[in-house]
Amino acid sequence: MWIWRPASTRLHLLESGQAEGPLPSPHTLSSFLNPVRTVPGTARSGNLGVRSSRSSMAFPKQRPIQWPLGLLLHSGAAPLLTVAADGRHGAGPAPAETQPAGGQGWDALERGRYQESIRLFAEATNQHPNDPIMWVGLALSERGLQQDQRAIRSLATAIDRAPHMTQAHHLLARLHAERDEQGAAIGHYEEALRQDPNNVRLQSEYRQVQGAMREEQGFSRVADRHVVVKFAEPSDRDRGSRLAAHLEEVCDAIGRELGSVPVTPVVAVLHSHKSASEPVWAAGIFDGRIHVTRAQLDAGGSRFQTYLRHEYTHALVHRLSQGRAPTWLDEGLAQYLERPVAERSEGLPVRGEEGPILLESLQGDFVGLPRAEAERKYADSLRATQVMIARHGLSGVRRWLETIAVSKDLAQAYKHVFHTGYPIVVTR
């Protein structure tokens, strides 16, 4: 599995225990979005290697996912944005009068207690209806429960209170992009860029959504319960329906294991041929959408099912963690769940050493590594994930992913969920 990111957005490897992606400054929401990462890898079907590729934004061409919810403050701190006299936001302590309910709301949000944070932020917005920060907190809490329409309304209210709140426009743009509402996303990106024209991340995301909108102009779509399939040729409608049916089966099967299905549909794009921009070894690309070629769909078979399960798992992990899952867990789960339970019981094709695994060594990019080293990292990622599943079960791993989305780092999320320290080394 490859995750591509431009060199301009690469970050140094994070310290052990930190969630991957850029950690926002504790004094601003403006840099909370995770970067695009690059990771080569292999999805396996029996002894047959199936290479696939993805990027880390949640919309076309650059994968988050999707916007993370966490890291709006240090542990338990009050909101750290204020509204200046001209309506613009800057760093600083929240107004004292909004701290009781609001401060508790941020704490509950960080711990993944969304129902509680919704109650607290609703109380704060009732007491202080003109404070846009409380409306943003409410929106983030609603997003945590995948209540997208409510989150959109809360963010719109925040913008009504503070029209120049760049971060609210950015959040709303990302949410619309994830929902494949590209026109609405572009409008909010343009407004955010008017306020912050030198923001490189905003510029990059805006170009990506624009590019996808141009590329998919005139595309038809087939919608099912949890997936939307887009295609260019009217003659591909039957193929689109078949692909949607395949993905719904995958969604149901993996949903039963992880205990989660997406509320906002996962988007898949059916192509007439493989993109020239993909690595030659890649079977496909995930960039917030699942990309499938006619040839893959028509060939079908176990290899195709493995590919769909692998890519769909990435999509679901991304939704659960808001794009902040560590590479080893993201890739490990995709490899673990790419095989049905019956086949998995026969033993997973794991290669590599059987000694201890230093999780810090599996963070960040695998790109550019010699093939043997990259394969070892993928094998170690799968082994480490198997250990976590053996210790905590798939339901525990799911809860950890959900908490990663709103916690300061992996270690804090791990402690919140499992009441013990994050392991630096994993042994089988």
Q: What pLDDT digit, counting tens, does each position of 24-34 carry?
A: 322 333 233 33
Q: What is the mean pLDDT of the chain?
A: 75
Asked whether residue 135 carries a pLDDT value surpassing 90, the answer given is yes
Q: Pick the closest to residue 333 from 265, 281, 404 (CA basis).
A: 404
Residues 372 and 282 in one domain: yes
Residues facing 293 on adjacent strands: 271
Q: Pick the closest to residue 3 from 60, 75, 73, 52 (CA basis).
A: 52
Residues 116 and 193 in one domain: yes
- Under 8 Å between Cβ of 109 and 120: no
Q: How many domains does the chain have?
A: 2
Stated pTM of the model: 0.72
Q: Minimum mean pLDDT among 41-50, 89-98, 117-126: which range?
A: 41-50
| Segment holding 294, helix H or strand E | helix 294-299
**Which of 159, 183, 215 finishes a domain?**
215
Domain range spanning residue 368?
A: 1-60+219-428
Higher pLDDT, 316 or 24: 316
Q: Minimum mean pLDDT among 57-61, 164-168, 210-214: which range?
A: 57-61
- Rounded to 10 degrees, the C-alpha dihedral 20/135/184/231 comes to 50
Residues 390 and 406 in one domain: yes
Number of other CB atoms surrounding residue 322 within 10 Å: 28
Would you place residue 332 in the very low, low, confident or very high pLDDT band (cuts 50, 70, 90)? Answer: very high
Higher pLDDT, 399 or 322: 399
Q: Minimum mean pLDDT among 118-122, 143-147, 241-245, 293-297: which range?
A: 143-147
Residues facing 407 on adjacent strands: none
Residues 205 and 324 in one domain: no
Q: What is the pLDDT of residue 243?
A: 97
Residues 200 and 145 in one domain: yes
Q: Pick the closest to residue 423 from 382, 377, 385, 368 (CA basis).
A: 385
Residues 207 and 223 in one domain: no
**Which of 215, 243, 278 finishes a domain?**
215
Residues 102 and 181 in one domain: yes
Token code pair at residue 312: 């769909």
User: What does the pLDDT look like over 155-186, one tens digit per residue?
Assistant: 999 999 999 999 899 999 988 988 889 899 99
DSSP labels for 84-147?
-TTS-EEESPPPGGGHHHHHHHHHHHHTT-HHHHHHHHHHHHHH-TT-HHHHHHHHHHHHHTT-
Residues 388 and 304 in one domain: yes
- Alpha-carbon distance 55 to 38, whole Å? 7
Token code pair at residue 148: 């997208």
Number of other CB atoms surrounding residue 193 within 10 Å: 19
Residues 192 and 324 in one domain: no
List the beta strands (DSSP E) in 251-387: 266-271, 285-286, 289-293, 357-358
Q: What is the pLDDT of residue 229?
A: 96
User: Do the domain assignments include residue 68?
Assistant: no
Cα of 85 vs its chain's centroid, Å: 35
Rg, Å, the chain Cα set:
21
Which residue type is seen at 219?
F
**Which of 215, 241, 256 finishes a domain?**
215
Q: What are phi and psi of 328, to 5 degrees?
A: -65, -35
Q: Which residue has the tokens 């809360």?
A: 154
